[in-house]
């Protein structure tokens, strides 16, 4: 379970990227959009915190990343980056990350893309390219679980095409001379999503069969006006850990009736109140 941030660190609001439908032409520095958790890394000597955008500590959840941050060759530093879980092909997987990276062969990586402070010097008012040069130097010999988020080189249209081919979540474009605007979404950083997503509601689940535990499939739906319509079943891709976590969460919000108005064979399922599922 994630914990509140230790009070010894002064939290910095992360700068946010503006979501756009397409990337515009211009002088941009392009990076991959990771499908993970945004996290700020705070290091002061041996004292380290890895913190979410909502001021929640990741220290207990990802101790291997804390050890990696402690070994950075700087006494004091504040980094901005993304926690990602890589599948067997080296592609970030949010599903694996939700399972806390406990699946066999899963690599947990902290991708650092910005440096906000180094040895007590506030770098937020320096151009992005300068901050990233210092960050690259800091990560010349990085710990196992930390990587520098490299710039994607090439023309915009070609980068978008390649990102589609590799089924990446999206791309981020940043002004090379942009300052770090804490807590703002000014447009100096923009992001475009390349994968289509739909938010579904969990309406219930089926009983497990065979050797499977907890539940068989999740029954999901979507809102149309005030009605919740059945969309389908989601039954694959769950690790044993994720099956248990979802099942336990659903038990807290159980109800006796089904909220999916057009579900076939309603009598065979068990129902939960509205709980969002990423899809």
- Residue among 144, 124, 54 at smallest CA distance from 135: 124
Instruction: Return all residues near 119 (Cβ < 8 A) that are at least 6 apart.
Output: 74, 75, 76, 77
Task: Judge: domain 200-277, CATH 2.40.50.140.
Answer: yes
Domain spans of the chain, in order of start:
8-193, 200-277
Predicted pLDDT of residue 274: 40
* N-terminal to C-terminal alpha carbon distance within the chain: 23
The one-digit pLDDT tens for each residue of the chain (279 residues) are 445 444 457 899 999 999 998 888 889 999 998 889 999 999 999 999 999 998 999 999 899 999 999 999 999 999 999 999 988 778 888 777 876 655 455 789 999 999 999 999 999 999 999 999 999 999 999 988 999 999 988 888 888 888 777 777 789 999 999 999 999 999 999 998 886 555 678 888 888 888 888 888 888 887 777 788 887 888 776 777 778 888 888 888 887 777 787 776 544 444 444 444 433
Rounded Cα gap, residues 99 and 112, in angstroms: 22
Classify 8-193 by CATH class. alpha beta
The residues annotated with a catalytic role in the active site are 33
């Amino acid at each position: 379970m994630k914990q509140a941030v230790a009070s010894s660190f002064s939290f910095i609001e992360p700068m946010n990227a503006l979501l756009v439908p397409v990337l515009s032409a211009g002088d941009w520095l392009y990076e991959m959009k990771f499908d993970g958790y945004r996290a700020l890394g705070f290091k002061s000597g041996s004292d380290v915190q890895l913190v979410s955008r909502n001021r929640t500590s990741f220290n207990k959840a990802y101790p291997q990343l804390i050890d990696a941050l402690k070994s950075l060759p700087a006494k004091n530093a504040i980094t901005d980056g993304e926690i990602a879980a890589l599948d067997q092909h080296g592609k970030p997987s949010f599903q694996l990350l939700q399972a806390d990276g406990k699946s066999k062969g899963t690599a947990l990586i902290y991708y650092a893309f910005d440096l906000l402070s180094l040895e007590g010097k506030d770098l937020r008012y320096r151009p992005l390219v300068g901050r990233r040069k210092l960050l690259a130097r800091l990560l010349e010999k990085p710990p196992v679980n930390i990587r520098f988020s490299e710039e994607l080189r090439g023309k915009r249209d070609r980068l978008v095409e390649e990102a589609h081919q590799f089924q990446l979540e999206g791309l981020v474009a940043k002004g090379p001379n942009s300052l770090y605007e804490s807590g703002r979404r000014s447009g100096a950083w923009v992001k475009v999503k390349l994968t289509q997503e739909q938010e579904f509601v969990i309406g219930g689940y089926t009983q497990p069969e065979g050797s499977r535990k907890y539940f068989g499939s999740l029954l999901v739906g979507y809102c149309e006006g005030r009605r919740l319509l059945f969309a389908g079943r989601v039954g694959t891709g769950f690790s044993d850990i994720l099956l248990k976590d979802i099942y336990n969460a659903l038990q807290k919000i159980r109800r006796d009736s089904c909220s999916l108005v057009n579900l076939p064979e309603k009598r065979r399922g068990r129902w939960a109140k509205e709980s969002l599922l990423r899809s």
